Amino acid sequence: MAFVIAPSRDFSGALPGNYLGLFNMTSNGKQSNHVIAIKLDCFQNKEFDDIDDNHVGIDINDLKSIESAPASYFSDKENQYVNLSLGNGHPLQLWVEYSGTARQLNVTLAPIKVTKPRIPLLSLEIDLSQIILDHPMFVGFSTATYTLPTSHYILGWSFKMNGEARELTLSQLPRLPRTHKRVPRLFIVLFAVIGATLVFISIFFNIQFIVKRKNKFAEMLEDWKRDYRPYRFKYKDLYFATKGFNNKELLGTGGFGRVYKEWEQVVVHRDIKSSNVLLDRELNGKLGDFGHARLYDHGTNPQTTHVVGTLGYLAPELCRTGKAIEPEASEDCKVLVNWVISCWSRGKILDTVDQKLGKNYDLEEMELVLRLGLLCSHSIPTERPHMRQVMHYLKGEVSLPKLRLLGLQTGIDDTNFLPSTGWSTMTRSSSVAESILSEGR
């Protein structure tokens, strides 16, 4: 849309669209047109070098603007130009002022409720006396659409020669007509009912889901359990930690029930310590439990472990004579403690070192650990060192006492004992080894 000053009202030869109903392909750009146009352009026409699709331009005899700028206005409050949209349907004000004395053409734009900015959007020094003829000139508006049908409205305008035009009374201006069809009241009520129904259904199913989930993880506490509540694991925590008590997370079944692998936060076993970790043939750690522990490997059938209970909590003689290891077993089945005693009694305790270590160990440290192991395996519980004493021995703060042999298990050759080791020779016994005594503790 454009505010136009022209020498005639006859534009019969002009084209619509991007020519704004003012010129055609032949007349555009001719000096004989004597046409001045201030255009508000919502379409970028590259043929006329438009800067964008939302600008204000000053056109003289040609649709190529002499001066143009993006639609905006200067805000005294923000002390800067604020962008405006020419196509959003909001009413605007436009001031076009020319001073013949100063030969200055100013164009100012602003929202409808904003007073005239003190700084114009466009300011051009030009002598319009060469454009405006001596005979009568016509003032008005021209508008055209290009690709889509649009509407342009002039709510009010004021014009004056040789002086300032009268200010518009904004409260008396008509309102813009409705651009959208009014929605029938019936549809509004229908949409409201459907929306309320959907909200109610959503709330109902959410409540049902919450109640069902709460019941699923609800706990029944007996009176005697309430005293221990701060130390109990919630069923919900256990459920998620074991992935819904999935059998793939099952480690074993013992005297206290099933033992699951901990997944993220809950340690289900609740008794994890070094004495509860057993080794298989490949020296892989397996979590054990008190009682008749059963270990489950994924993809295999469960089988009972050979040791009932954990070494360190059972007397050594029970490990030697229990049903899991029969006295009549073949020579290949050796009792570990008896074998170490036999090697030590013959002055060859280092023969018990794992061959996989090669020579990558300290001889004195290895002998200390093996001898300390024999001392900790003493058949008399009161003769075994406490853990604090064990730590003193390992740190070298206290010397390990010499050991004396007073009794042996069947299967150890007494005749091979070396007198230099400090052992006293005794006869063969069919019972378990009586004792390994230390000289002091």
- Whether residue 366 lies inside any domain: the answer is yes
Instruction: Identify the CATH number of the domain in which residue 140 sits.
Output: 2.60.120.200
pLDDT tens string 265-287? 376 455 566 777 777 778 777 76
Domain co-membership, 162 together with 44:
yes
Domain co-membership, 159 together with 252:
no
**pLDDT attached to residue 254:** 60
Segments forming the whole domain that contains residue 265: 238-304
Question: How far does Cα 108 stand from its chain's mean position?
Answer: 51
Domain co-membership, 150 together with 24:
yes
- Whether residue 212 lies inside any domain: the answer is no
- Whether residue 200 lies inside any domain: the answer is no
Domain co-membership, 279 together with 333:
no
Is residue 297 part of the annotated active site? The answer reads no
Domain co-membership, 290 together with 322:
no
Domain co-membership, 154 together with 18:
yes
Domain co-membership, 368 together with 289:
no
Domain co-membership, 278 together with 389:
no
**pLDDT attached to residue 179:** 64
Domain boundary residue, one of 256, 284, 304:
304
- Whether residue 192 lies inside any domain: the answer is no
**pLDDT attached to residue 249:** 74
- Whether residue 202 lies inside any domain: the answer is no
Q: Quote the number of domains for the chain.
A: 3
Domain boundary residue, one of 121, 138, 172:
172
Domain co-membership, 288 together with 143:
no
d(CA 421, CA 343): 12
**pLDDT attached to residue 319:** 52
Domain co-membership, 340 together with 285:
no
pLDDT tens string 11-29? 999 998 889 999 999 999 9
Identity at 346, one-letter amino acid code: R
Domain co-membership, 295 together with 368:
no
Q: Which of 10, 52, 62, 271 is catalytic?
A: 271
- Whether residue 46 lies inside any domain: the answer is yes
pTM of the model: 0.43
Domain boundary residue, one of 134, 155, 172:
172
Domain co-membership, 290 together with 390:
no
Show the low-confidence residues of the chain (pLDDT under 70): 146-148, 179-184, 216-233, 251-257, 259-265, 267-273, 287-334, 405-441
- Whether residue 114 lies inside any domain: the answer is yes
